[in-house]
Amino acid sequence: MLTALIFDVDGTLADTESVHLEAFNHAFAQEGLDWHWDVPLYTRLLEISGGKERLLHHWRMVQPNLKEVDGGAVRDTVARLHEIKTAYYEQVVGAGALSLRPGVLALMQAAYDEGVQLAIATTTSPVNIAALLRSAIGPDWRSFFLAIGDASNAPIKKPHPQVYLKVLADMRLDPAHCVAFEDSANGLQAATAAGLATVITPTSYTAQHDFGAALRVLPDLSHLNLAQLRQWLSEQQ
Ligand code: XBP
Ligand code: MG
């Protein structure tokens, strides 16, 4: 039985990380910082889920004595950088800079039509989800989803399973009858720890991750249908 599909956002619904990277660098320039993240550095930094956590991690790397600096000031600076970064990302993505990855919308539409529930489980901020899905699906995008777990209601970031456990609890569904969609090792770990079989579609930022625990690893969702997913779920039960 297949009762729900639960989608990660960044990297899974769309290849968002290049815009996140541009937005972080915009915030650094705006605040007069001499930080600039390039693609190899950002690829490593993506091991830390969540924008604020990633900023703090980087700051600790470049300033190992950060612990001795006033904690409140550090928190405020991270919050300000993240606010500028989020506003930039929302503006660029809201203007239509990104499209959904191949097969995503068709699979969602097929699920919706057949009464298979849809949900989102992401570490990103609610405004980022809205900017992407409003522009990719339309103003009624929210009505597609029975539950949305994000940075505002599941603050402990992946690989912790909190966001998946919250979404499952909100939907009152058994993880054995649901499939998660992820693009990263942190996402896979979070979904697996919540008891979910997980289909992985890697991006150029996550291609080197270990996906040994995945139900399947696919280049994208363009050839995936619900019958195939039901078959894979039944094979592993
Ligand atoms: C993606 C992330 C996100 C974005 C940044 O992880 O870690 O933090 O890179 O978004 P996942 P915010 O796809 O597993 O959710 O700055 O809004 O945190
Ligand atoms: Mg992701």
> Nearest residue CA, atom 13 of ligand 1?
10
What ipTM was reported for this prediction?
0.90
Q: Where in the chain is the domain with CATH 1.10.150.240?
A: 17-94
CATH of segment(s) 4-15+99-235: 3.40.50.1000
Q: Where in the chain is the domain with CATH 3.40.50.1000?
A: 4-15+99-235
Burial of 130 (0-12, 13-18, 19+ CB in 10 A): middle
Is the whole-model pTM more than 0.90? yes
> Nearest residue CA, atom 16 of ligand 1?
51
- CA distances in angstroms from 143 to 101, 117, 124, listed in the order given: 20, 11, 19
Q: How far apart (Å, rounded) are the C-alpha atoms in residues 203 and 82?
A: 23
Active-site residue flag, 8 = yes
Burial of 74 (0-12, 13-18, 19+ CB in 10 A): middle
What is the CA(50)–ligand 1 centre distance, in A? 4
Ligand nearest to the CA of 129: 1
| pLDDT tens series, the chain, 237 aa | 999 999 999 999 999 999 999 999 999 999 999 999 999 999 999 999 999 999 999 999 999 888 767 778 899 999 999 999 999 999 999 999 999 999 999 999 999 999 999 999 999 999 999 999 999 999 999 999 999 999 999 999 999 999 999 999 999 999 999 999 999 999 999 999 999 999 999 999 999 999 999 999 999 999 999 999 999 999 987
3: helix, strand or coil: coil
What is the CA(33)–ligand 2 centre distance, in A? 27
With beta carbons less than 8 A apart as the criterion, state whether 49 and 159 touch: yes
CATH of segment(s) 17-94: 1.10.150.240
Q: How far apart (Å, rounded) are the C-alpha atoms in residues 144 and 82?
A: 28
- Residues lining ion ligand 2 (Cβ < 5 A) are 8, 10-11, 183-184, 187
